[in-house]
Amino acid sequence: MQLSDVTFQGPEFEVNAPVVDALPENLVALLKQINGFVQFAGGLHVRGVCEKPTWHSVDEVMVGPLALHHLYEAVLPTDVPFAQDCVADQFLLRDGKVYKLQAETGELESLGLNLSQFFSAVETDPVEFLAMQPLLRFQRDGGVLEPGQVLHVYPPFCTEEARDGVSLRAVSATEALAFLAHFSRQLSGMENGERFQVRVVP
């Protein structure tokens, strides 16, 4: 597999990590070659099998404090959250297929792609496939995403107010995921068009 514009590579693959048994063979084979990575200066983050850094560990989002199946109803304990995009939307492997979890709303959709096809789509057109437009705007304004960071979008893209424009800032991926999971739970019982208020606590 050819990878372009890799801006971070994970540490050595931890062969004896318990999480390895829960990962599909094709993902393990990839991670043994390159144990996770960041591409396109934050456009895609593929997690690795490691203890540190925790933001890079697939174990953290499978069984750790940020296990996605605890944070989102649509996620199963057997799902493998192997990657995320620049706004912390998650890519999961389920029965050999890649699914995308919208972190703001908790909606899960199948992309109809296997792992190899997913990476081919990334390489073919990363901007469109990974919806990197917010990152490109952030970069044009002089912003930089460090490894372990994603973009915090305010107001959230799923709101009507976002049509008038959003602000973007770099935050830690773990902070963003915790916030977005909480936000999606607040939305889950609401009707379309219902108004709500977001309080920003400094």
What's the confidence (pLDDT) of residue 202?
A: 42
Percent above pLDDT 70 for the chain: 92
Output the CA–CA distances (angstroms, integers) from residue 124 to 47, 130, 138, in the order listed: 21, 11, 22
| Closest alpha carbon to 134 in 159, 153, 149, 158 | 153
What's the confidence (pLDDT) of residue 191?
A: 53
pLDDT tens readout for residues 99-128: 999 999 999 999 999 999 999 999 999 999
What's the confidence (pLDDT) of residue 186?
A: 81
Q: Please report which confidence band the pLDDT of residue 200 belongs to, taking 50, 70 and 90 as the band edges.
A: very low
Kindly state the average pLDDT of the residues 166-194. Answer: 82
Percent above pLDDT 90 for the chain: 79
How many other C-beta atoms are found inside a 10 Å radius of the C-beta of residue 160?
Answer: 9
pTM equals 0.90
- Burial classification of residue 10, based on how many CB atoms lie within 10 Å of its CB (0-12 exposed, 13-18 middle, 19 or more buried): buried
Q: Please report which confidence band the pLDDT of residue 193 belongs to, taking 50, 70 and 90 as the band edges.
A: very low
pLDDT tens readout for residues 4-37: 899 999 999 999 999 999 999 999 999 999 999 9
- In the predicted model, what is the mean pLDDT of the chain? 91
Separation between Cα atoms, residue 113 and residue 117, nearest integer Å: 5
Q: Please report which confidence band the pLDDT of residue 201 belongs to, taking 50, 70 and 90 as the band edges.
A: very low
Query: Containing H/E element for 170?
Result: strand 167-172
Task: Give 66 or 199, the one with higher predicted confidence.
Answer: 66
Longest Cα–Cα distance of the chain, Å, equals 50
The answer to whether the CB of 126 falls within 8 A of the CB of 39 is: yes
